[in-house]
Amino acid sequence: MERILKFNIFRYTPVDPESTPHMQSFQLEETDSMTLYIALNHIREQQDPSLQFDFCCRAGICGSCAMLINGRPDLACHTKTKDLPSEITLMPLPVFKLIGDLSVDTGSWFRGMNERVESWIHTDKIFDPEAPEEPMTNQLAEEIYELERCIECGCCVAACGKANMREDFMGAVAFNRIARFMLDPRDERTNTEYFELVGTDEGIFGCLGLLGCEDVCPKDIPLQDQLGTLRRKMGWNAVQHLFSRIISR
Amino acid sequence: MDTLYTDLLCIGAGLAGERVAVEAASQGFKATCLSIVPPRRSHSSAAQGGMQAALGNACMGEGDCPDIHFADTVRGSDWGCDQAVARLFSETAPMAVREMAFWGIPWNRVVAGRSTYFKAGRQYEKVELEEKEGLITARDFGGTAKWRTCYTSDGTGHTLLFTMDNMIVKLGVTVHDRVEAISLIHDGQSCMGAVARCLKTGKLRVYLARATLIATGGYGRLYRETTNAVINDGGGAIIALDTGVVPLGNMEAVQFHPTGIVPTNILVTEGCRGDGGTLKDVNGDRFMQIYEPGKQELASRDVVSRWMMHHIRQGMGVKSAYGDHLWLDIRHLGAHHIKTKLREVEEICHKFLGIDPVTQMIPVRPAQHYSMGGVRTNKDGTVYGLKGFFAAGEAACWDMHGFNRLGGNSLAETIVAGRIVGEKIAEFLQGMETDFKTSCVRSTVRRDRERIDRIIDGKDGKENLYELRNAMQDELMERVGIFRTGENLKRAVENLQVIHDRARHIGIRSSGPGANPELSLALRFRGMVRLALCVAYGALMRTESRGCHAREDYSERNDRDWLRRTLATWKEGEALPTLTYEPNSKIWEIPPGERGYGSCKIICSQDPAVCGITEDLPEHN
């Protein structure tokens, strides 16, 4: 017997002066292999074409469709309804600016994040089109890729107690990005330069250690380890700095 | 009305669009990218398996060079490509891969020494050379003579896109995300930019640009079953066709990928077969060796997809609630390989199918995957018909893929074409001025405003948008798919014409301000039907079989009459596109011949310019 699913969906379009925030209910018969991607499109096409939400790749790769699913941030496209109770509450991700209903502006937030951590290889070298590539061990390439797998979906930010309290908190995604570049020998930034970017209250010292970020990451990126590594290296850097001052005295 | 000025307007901020923008910005020009999604969510991110470039570092790629890559590409295209472009591409690709390494791609690297690999289900051993240790390695892909596909696990598109967007951030290139170009501003001679709609607020905006680029990807969403992202509905091709003067090239050239998962059509990479995965039928038996004794599972995509559908037609498919399918088996590759080299595949199997590919087979069936056709350009990326107008990537018909693209050649095209077209645009910007005619701007904006108002007010009727869209997708899926016949294509054209007419009377049910997703689709939809008509009508008129275009009533590849590229334009008020033809290549480094897979009868060209440089003409067989 197919279940009748009850969806409670947050509705509000900030650019519409007549719109007020409220919850709206929809009912839908569950079908085999139904995901929230299928369900939400069904609701839009059959019941309410004004419903706003974001999907793009619908394959868990692009990070467009993160939302709060029964209170927990996750990608809607890879969430199967059979893994959920028959009553499903969908809310937009917090922290990010609301565009409408379940759609939030992650684009501006992540552009800002990428600018803040200077998310690119810093080097004084100039590309030589004639030269072979610099060698790298495959193991290191795989370690970098592990951290590069972040899809900037925003789940870790939405699940972060600190980011919800403090607008300028950088979030686990930024720490992971810094950790990725620290691993990469092509990036010539020094530890001191990295820590200038994240060694602050808005950065790694602002983290409350609740680790909601790691719990919800849909790509299972070891975010906790990156935070730990950064703090450890930062501490070691500070100790080295202290020693060199004592010795120079 | 917000009006913004920029030197270069890139419509689309996937890999091709961003690579062009990076080039222009590096040379000191102001580039602005428009994207309907945040740029890192572009469909480039979904490309999994890799990027072809003849580096020849891996032992199985030893001796590789651009000549061989070129030859594979031409054969893959079934001699439908422009050979001058394929040559330019294959020569530039190795450097482009190294440049991406310089910018930060964690390419998988050569590990010296002994290791095992699988081919056609059997295990072999190889020895990687000491002197190549740590250089960029490659995996095997379909239709290639060498292991040439460079990769980062199976997230190659993702790492390329993130690294490219890092360059965009570094260079401070402006990206306006959630903005959709809905019309080009032009006077029939020059392109002056675009009218765009903000998908956050619903407001219109004018972008004036000295050079305008289309890089909006493919048109897979015209089909019901596609691996493409929901945004790939041919937006750039639509606004180009709307000009009435810009032709779309070879729109009937539509590729089906052998391994879309059933039922969601999500792609699992060709890397699965490249790394030794096999296709199996209802009895759990391999079958590709029956049809393609040479390349087996690694024939080109058009060929493998056709044999899969043929095998299903023979009653050898696995019955399911979602229709018949076949199996992809990667179990023998082992848990370690799957968890390191095929990570996304493993995740997709778990999350979307609820199966473990280490112990279970994956249900697959061919699904629409790639658009070889697109906005027709010359080899510099300059679009036919309008000055100051360019295109690159899947949105373009540059035309290095002809009638079938090889796996790994699309990521490579975005990077290589982006680089080349970017340089050409920079040259153009160096020397050219564009006169912005306010009358053109005003009339374009007025027309778009009217179009929007009429839809919102429901002045033209109450046709249901989603019903019409489904009807269009079914039409292409059922009658303009892998196997085509004149009768079916004729019906498809007739039915699509009815849909095109009905689309004039769409009335939407939601009218609130803001982005309004129903309105966005309504604005695009009639153009989508026009693209569908270009596909179906082009396919109907092409009375031969070439690459992915398989006519059951014209099963020969006809080099005598059809070494030609279809050019489709749409005159205002017409019910069908106007089709003209041009020679598909001026240079014939490799005269038409056997591909070495996908046997088909050939009607030979008698043109000495095409085949005159060779002594032995390919025979009829």
The token pair at A113 is 């994040």
- Write out pLDDT tens, residues B472-484: 999 999 999 999 9
Q: Binning pLDDT at 50, 70 and 90, where does residue A32 land?
A: confident
Q: Examine the residue annotation and report whether B310 is marked as an active-site residue of this protein.
A: no
* Six token digits for residue B462: 């109450």
B159 to chain A nearest CA, in Å? 7
Query: Which residues in chain B touch residue A108, judged by CB atoms under 8 angstroms apart?
Result: 177
Q: Rounded CA gap, A206 and B566, in Å?
A: 60
In degrees, to the nearest 5, what angle opens at C-alpha B139 toward C-alphas B137 and B145?
Answer: 110
Give residue-wise pLDDT tens across range B480-531.
Answer: 999 999 999 999 999 999 999 999 999 999 877 888 999 999 999 999 999 9
Interface with B, mutate which of A138, A152, A177, A217 (most B CBs under 10 A)? A138
Question: For residue A89, what pLDDT band results from cuts at 50, 70 and 90?
Answer: very high
User: What average pLDDT score do residues B54-63 get?
Assistant: 97
Q: Which amino acid is at B195?
A: V
| Contact criterion met (CB < 8 Å) for B170 and A120 | yes
What is the arithmetic mean of pLDDT over B259-285?
A: 95
* Average pLDDT of chain B, as a whole number: 95
Amino acid of residue B276: G
Residue among A15, A35, A59 whose CB faces B513 most closely: A15
Exposed, middle or buried by CB within 10 Å (0-12, 13-18, 19+), for A85?
A: exposed
Give the long-range contacts of residues B342-346, CB within 8 A, separation 24 or more. Answer: B342/B153, B342/B154, B342/B269, B342/B271, B342/B272, B342/B275, B343/A149, B343/B153, B343/B154, B343/B155, B344/A61, B344/B48, B344/B153, B344/B154, B344/B155, B344/B269, B345/B48, B345/B154, B345/B268, B345/B269, B345/B271, B345/B272
Residue B69 falls in the annotated catalytic set: no
Alpha helices in chain A (DSSP H): 36-46, 106-116, 138-148, 155-158, 161-165, 172-183, 191-198, 212-216, 223-248
Give the best residue of A35, A38, A56 to mutate against chain B (max B CB count within 10 A).
Answer: A56
Cα distances (angstroms) measured from residue A222 to each of A148, B159, B304: 11, 18, 39
Question: What would the mean pLDDT of B368-389 be, rounded to a whole number?
Answer: 98
- Three-state DSSP at B275 gives coil
Task: State residue A230's pLDDT score.
Answer: 87
Cβ contact B407:B149 at 8 Å: yes
Name the closest residue on chain B to residue A14, using Cα atoms. Answer: B514
The three state secondary structure string of B71-124 is HHHHHHCCCCCCHHHHHHHHHHHHHHHHHHHHHCCCCCECCCEEEEEEECCEEE
Best residue in A62, A118, A143 to probe B by mutation, most B CBs within 10 Å?
A62
Residues of chain B in contact with residue A142, where contact means CB-CB under 8 angstroms, are 106, 108, 153, 340
Bridge partners of residue A7, in order along the sequence:
A26, A88
Which positions in chain A touch B348 (Cβ < 8 Å)? 59-60
Token readout for B75 is: 């054969």
For B88-218, strand residue ranges (E) read 113-119, 122-128, 149-150, 174-177, 179-186, 191-198, 204-214
> Is the pLDDT reported for residue B615 higher than 60?
no
Which residue of A58, A105, A136 is in closest CB contact with B230?
Answer: A58
Q: Where do the H-state alpha helices sit in B480-557?
A: 486-502, 517-541
- From the list B177, B263, B267, the residue facing A107 with the nearest CB is B177
Q: Does B3 touch chain A (CB under 8 A)?
A: no
In angstroms, the CA A26 to CA A6 distance is 6
Provide the percentage of residues in chain A whose pLDDT is more than 70.
99
Distance of CA B398 to the CA centre of its chain: 11
Provide, as residue numbers in chain B, all residues whose Cβ is less than 8 Å from the Cβ of A120: 103-104, 166-167, 169-170
pLDDT band with cut points at 50, 70 and 90 for residue B49: confident
B133 in contact with chain A, both atoms CB, cutoff 8 A: yes
Chain B residues with CB-CB distance to A48 below 8 A: 510
Kindly report the backbone phi and psi dihedral angles of residue B136, in degrees, each rounded to the nearest multiple of 5, phi listed first. Answer: -65, 125
Instruction: Give contacts of B107 with chain A, Cβ < 8 Å.
Output: 133, 136, 141
CA distance B414 to B370: 13
pLDDT digit string (tens) for A118-167? Answer: 999 999 999 999 999 999 999 999 999 999 999 999 999 999 999 999 99
Could you say which of A60, A63, A80 has the minimum Cβ distance to residue B348? Answer: A60
pLDDT of res. B600 = 81
Put simply, the answer to whether B266 touches A58 (Cβ < 8 Å) is yes
